[in-house]
Structure 1
Amino acid sequence: MKINLRNQVGIVKERKVGFSWTTLFFGFFPVLFRGDWKWAIIQFVAAGCTLHINDLLKNGYEPSDENSRTVLVSKGFITGSRTFTA
C-alpha cells in the first residue's frame, strides 16, 4: 500500500507502508537512492529497519487524502481522531 503525505508548504511525498523487502536485501541503499541522507546514515550505522513514515509525520507531514489517513490509522501510525486538511 502507498500513501501520500503533504507538509505545510504543499510538498507531497508518496511512500510505501509496511515491510520493506528492498531494505531487507539491500540495507541502506534504497533510502540512499531516494536522497534521504539522514536515514541512510542511520541505517548504515544501526543496520536496522527504517522509521521513515514516523519521521515525516513528526516533521509536519500529514495524510493528503482520506485513503492515506485510513491506511495510517489501520497500521497504527496515527490515531483515528487525527484529521487531515485537503
Structure 2
Amino acid sequence: MKINLTNPATRQIKQAKIGFSWTTFFFGCLVPLVRGDWKWFFILLIITIVLGLPTFGFGGAIVGLIFSFIYNRLYINDLLGHGFAPADDYSETALESHNFLAPR
C-alpha cells in the first residue's frame, strides 16, 4: 500500500510504502541512500559492516532481513517528523489504520 506525503512548507511530495520493504530486503543500505535518508543510510551501513565482517557477511544478511520489516515505518515516521503530512484522504486513512500519528 503506497501513500503520498506532502510538505506544506516546501511543496515537496514523497511517496512511501507501508509494510515490508522488498527493496531493503534485496538491496540493503542502498535504499536509504537512494531515498536521501542519510541518517538511516549511515546507521544501516555501520551495523551491516560491524556485524557482517566478523561473520563473513552472514550478520549483514540478518541485519538486512530485520530492517526489511521495519525500514518503511522508520522512513514514514521521519518524514512525518520533518513536517510532511498526508496528501489525500486515502493516505490519511492508511496512516491512521497502521497506527501512525499523522499531524493535522
Indicate whether the TM-score tops 0.5: yes
Q: Which amino acid aligns with 1:2?
A: K
TM-score between the two structures when normalised by the length of structure 1: 0.79
Could you tell me how far apart the structure 2 residues matched to 1:45 and 1:62 are? Answer: 30
Structure 1 portions without partners, runs of 5+? none
Could you tell me how far apart the structure 2 residues matched to 1:74 and 1:27 are? Answer: 27
Q: What is the correspondence of 1:1-86 to structure 2 with a 5 Å cutoff?
A: 1-9=1-9, 10-46=11-47, 47=63, 49=67, 50=71, 51-78=74-101, 83=104
How big is the alpha-carbon RMSD for the aligned residues of Structure 1 and Structure 2? 1.8
List structure 1 runs of 4+ shifted beyond 6 angstroms.
none
In our comparison, the structure showing a higher alpha carbon Rg is: 2
Structure 2 portions without partners, runs of 5+? 48-62
Task: Work out the percentage of aligned pairs sharing the same amino acid.
Answer: 48
Larger CA deviation: 13-22 vs 37-46: 37-46
Could you tell me how far apart the structure 2 residues matched to 1:33 and 1:12 are? Answer: 16
TM-score between the two structures when normalised by the length of structure 2: 0.67
Kindly provide the CA deviation profile for residues 31-81 of structure 1, in whole angstroms up to 9, marking residues without a partner as x: 2122322221122124452211000001111101000001101111126xx
